[in-house]
């Protein structure tokens, strides 16, 4: 290839097209458990999660809900992936590897929300949420008392008793959660999130007619099973309600993944090292939404 401004522009246009196609077609599943929140600045404040008003009978003056004293903010982070293009490869028509790299960069950009959201799940047993407690914890403040959305029970289909002690107990606990005024939040778990190691157990629990002890499976069809290879624990499992406007996890997007390039021959890398560059940039972060809509078990207790 004759390396000139026009041919370089065509080459990078092809890279950009390959990148955009991969960005649009790459499979993702973060949307199943998280809500996307646009961001217009460096940080978003989610303190409002602590007091979301519900309807009440209007007698006398309206009751105003004040924000709790603590703050919960999520700061946007910078993300990037960069490809270096050796000008000699353009001259020698050795460019096939760059198309593959551009496709990989597109897939990586599309799956950035998955990396962020499922990273939140992995650390949810020891990361704080809006009420100042760990997202999965045994003593979330609720009204005049506390509430637990954390367990150690292993997900099991060995018997009806074992299924009740794990999945059944989690579902029952979630349905008991109330707001600060003592009103039920009508939580209805609909997602059973598991790592690859628990895929067979979770799918069996949601599909088989009878459990291992021969008793009827009363939980058949109760939830959609979501299997996620990014989950790092082979034993932990999660029950979620994603049917409401607010969701358990937050994907905060300041700038969606977009392509950038450096091809100016006056730049140091191009002039001194004959290296052109194609890259992807994004600004985003993740945070915890309503703990009331999630239940996590470490799965370490039989």
13-64 pLDDT per residue, tens:
888 899 899 999 999 999 999 999 999 999 999 888 876 544 444 444 433 3
d(CA 216, CA 103): 48
User: For residue range 133-163, what is the model confidence (pLDDT) as tens digits?
Assistant: 999 999 998 888 899 999 999 999 999 999 9
The answer to whether residue 143 is domain-embedded is yes
Question: Range with the lowest mean pLDDT among 187-191, 257-261, 268-272, 279-283?
Answer: 268-272
Give me the count of residues in the chain: 302
User: Considering the domain boundaries, does residue 58 fall inside one?
Assistant: no
Is residue 220 assigned to a domain? yes
pLDDT score, position 72: 87
Q: What pLDDT does 89 receive? A: 77
CATH code of 201's domain: 3.90.1690
Structure tokens at 185: 């939040």
- Domain holding 77, by residue range, is 5-25+35-51+69-301
Contact status, residue 34 vs residue 113, Cβ threshold 8 Å: yes
pTM of the model: 0.87
Q: Name which of 292, 296, 226, 205 is nearest 32 in CA terms.
A: 226
- Does any domain span residue 61? no
62 in any annotated domain:
no
pLDDT recorded at residue 70: 59
Please count the structural domains in the chain: 1
Q: Is 235 helix (H, G, I), strand (E, B) or coil?
A: coil
Look up residue 128 and give its DSSP letter. Answer: B
pLDDT digits (tens, 9 = 90+) for 62-115: 333 444 445 789 999 999 988 888 878 777 677 788 889 889 989 999 999 999
Q: Write out pLDDT tens, residues 236-276.
A: 999 999 999 899 999 999 999 988 887 766 666 555 557 78
More confident call, 234 vs 46: 234
**112 in a domain, yes or no?**
yes
234 in helix, strand or coil? coil
Q: Is residue 156 situated within a structural domain?
A: yes
The answer as to whether 59 is a domain residue is no
CA distance 228 to 231: 6
pLDDT value at residue 61:
44
Quick one: pLDDT at residue 64?
Answer: 39
């Amino acid at each position: 290839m004759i390396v000139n401004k026009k041919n370089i522009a065509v080459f990078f246009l092809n890279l950009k097209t390959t990148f955009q196609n991969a960005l649009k077609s790459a499979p993702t599943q973060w949307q199943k458990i998280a809500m996307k929140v646009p961001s217009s600045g460096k940080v978003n404040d989610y303190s409002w999660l602590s007091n979301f008003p519900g309807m009440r009978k209007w007698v006398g003056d309206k009751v105003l809900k004040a924000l709790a004293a603590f703050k919960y903010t999520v700061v946007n982070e910078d993300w990037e992936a960069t490809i270096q293009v050796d000008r000699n490869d353009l001259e020698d028509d050795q460019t096939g590897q760059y198309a593959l790299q551009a496709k990989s960069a597109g897939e990586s950009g599309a799956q950035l929300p998955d990396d962020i959201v499922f990273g939140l799940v992995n650390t949810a047993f020891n990361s704080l949420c809006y009420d100042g407690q760990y997202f999965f914890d045994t003593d979330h403040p609720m009204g005049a008392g506390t509430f637990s959305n954390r367990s150690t029970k292993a997900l099991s289909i060995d018997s009806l008793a074992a299924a009740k002690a794990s999945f059944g107990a989690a579902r029952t606990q979630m349905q008991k959660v109330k707001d600060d005024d003592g009103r039920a939040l009508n939580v209805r778990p609909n997602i059973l999130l598991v790592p690859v190691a628990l895929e067979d157990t979770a799918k069996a629990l949601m599909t088989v007619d009878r459990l291992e002890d021969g008793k009827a499976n009363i939980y058949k069809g109760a939830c959609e099973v979501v299997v996620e290879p990014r989950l790092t624990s082979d034993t932990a499992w999660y029950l979620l309600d994603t049917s409401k406007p607010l969701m358990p996890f937050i994907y905060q997007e300041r700038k969606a993944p977009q392509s950038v390039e450096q091809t100016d021959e006056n730049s140091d890398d191009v002039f001194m090292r004959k290296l052109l560059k194609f890259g992807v940039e994004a600004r985003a972060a993740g945070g915890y939404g309503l703990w009331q809509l999630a239940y996590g078990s470490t799965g370490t207790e039989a």
